[in-house]
Amino acid sequence: MSQETVGVTVHLMGCEYRFACQPSERDDLLEAARYLDVRMREVRDRTSKLLSLEAVAVMAAINVSNELLRQQHLSAEADTLVGRQVEDLLRKVDAVLSKAESEGL
């Protein structure tokens, strides 16, 4: 059973690119393309206007990858912290329940 795909056209720094994706992914793809276009334009504006489109794309991709990795690290740290807090709360609840049980409540 093949899944239906739709064609999507995105624009990156004035160039047009066509992609195929599932209908449910269309809006996310367009949002990602808009984000990448902004990032590529930022790279171009901060560097030499003579850089090739490929060089701008690679630099933007590295910047976006760095952002993603930073967010993944922050998310992992937050997950660890939340996990520790949940464990601490469970120990406290267990202690209260054990005390109540031993006192016959």
pLDDT in tens, 46-72: 997 789 999 999 999 999 999 999 999
- Which stretches of the chain score pLDDT less than 70? 1-2, 105
Domains present along the chain, CATH in parentheses:
6-102 (3.30.160.880)
Residue 15 φ/ψ, nearest 5 degrees: -100, 145
Q: How many residues does the chain have?
A: 105
What confidence score (pLDDT) does residue 101 get? 87
* CA torsion through residues 30, 36, 39, 40, sign: negative
What confidence score (pLDDT) does residue 104 get? 75
Task: For residues 38 and 32, give the distance between their C-alpha atoms in angstroms, rounded to a whole number.
Answer: 10
What confidence score (pLDDT) does residue 50 get? 85
97 burial (CB, 10 Å; 0-12 / 13-18 / 19+) is exposed
What confidence score (pLDDT) does residue 2 get? 60
Task: For residues 15 and 56, give the distance between their C-alpha atoms in angstroms, rounded to a whole number.
Answer: 13
User: What is this structure's pTM?
Assistant: 0.75
What confidence score (pLDDT) does residue 49 get? 78
